[in-house]
Amino acid sequence: MTETFTLVHMSDVHLGPLEGVPLRHLNTKRALGYLNWQRGRRFVHLRSVADRIAADALAQTPDHIAVTGDLANLGLPGEYASALAWLEALGDPAQVSVVPGNHDIYTGRLGGASCLETWAPFMRGNEGPAQDGPVRFPYVRTLGPVALIGLNSAVPTPPFVAAGRLGAAQIADVATSLDRLGRAGYIRVVLIHHPPLQGQAPPRRALQDAAAFADVLDRHGAELVLHGHNHQQMLAWRRHSERGIPVLGAASASAGQAHKEEPLARYHVLRIRRADGAVHIDCEIRGFAEASGAVVRLARQDLVMPAA
């Protein structure tokens, strides 16, 4: 019997509300971000919508849930605590994996608090003995036939910049992990916040070392890459193998109203199996077709690379 692994993917929850920025954490970037939240984003990203998406996701009885960043807005300790409670409602750390987004690591001035500490149990690998100490990326979680490889593309940036970077050390380590897990026969799923390919975001929002990361995918392979950041449904391909590598981006999981080109809240249910020597990924997109409606199936497709 072929084993099917059901993976839920959601992103960019931007949990509110924000009740101001404590003076000890205030800087120019947070002040501008708070104004942006108050003037518009607080009407888009609704906790009630995120909770309904989460409830629907749990009703799909997934084997695991992956959240690709931006649970917070301004990277404040209170936001980290609120997001931790939301994550714990999804499941325990063995059932939920997280990678940080640029809004989670928003600025370097925070007085020691960090999402990498608060959410650490959701960002640790499960290979070998139990880990403690600082979170290290990439982390690897082996779950039945699937191996999740979690990357951190989030770095503090100046105002009006939301770019990301992996860095040479992380890129080298993920190449090693992809090789090792591929030889062991795992279905390799990479988690990253920023769209990982060149041209998927404007320079001020892009992954700065996207070319180097794409080269790793081309040389070492993966079966699926999941990301967020753009608040849009996205699908691109790398031609590593006959079936290719799908690079799948999720829209925001908390959008209670359409904003610019961003759709209403949605998420992915990915049913992954290996059959006839190939990996098959059934992608169901679930979310809101209308703001006052129910969470429904919006679309589904088999993630198979189209012919050249």
Give the domains, in start order, of the chain with CATH numbers: 4-302 (3.60.21.10)
Give the per-residue pLDDT at 130.
72
What distance in Å separates the CA atoms of residue 140 and residue 151, rounded to the nearest whole number? 9
Q: Which strand (E) or helix (H) includes residue 117?
A: helix 115-118
Q: Grade residue 300 by pLDDT with cuts at 50, 70 and 90.
A: very high
Which residues have a Cβ under 8 Å from the Cβ of 179 and sit 6 or more positions away? 220
Give the per-residue pLDDT at 1.
39
**Do 237 and 254 meet the contact criterion of CB atoms below 8 Å apart?**
no
Using DSSP, state whether 155 is helix, strand or coil: coil
pLDDT of 109 strictly over 80: no
Give the per-residue pLDDT at 2.
64
- Widest distance between CA atoms in the chain: 60
Residue pLDDT, tens place only, 243-280:
789 999 999 999 999 888 999 999 999 999 998 888 99
Enter the DSSP assignment of 60.
T
Which residues have a Cβ under 8 Å from the Cβ of 135 and sit 6 or more positions away? 116, 117, 120, 123, 124
pTM of the model: 0.95
Mean pLDDT, residues 68-77: 94
Mean pLDDT of the chain: 92
Residue labelled with tokens 């003076």: 23
Higher pLDDT, 143 or 129: 143
Residue pLDDT, tens place only, 224-234:
999 999 999 99
Give the per-residue pLDDT at 111.
55
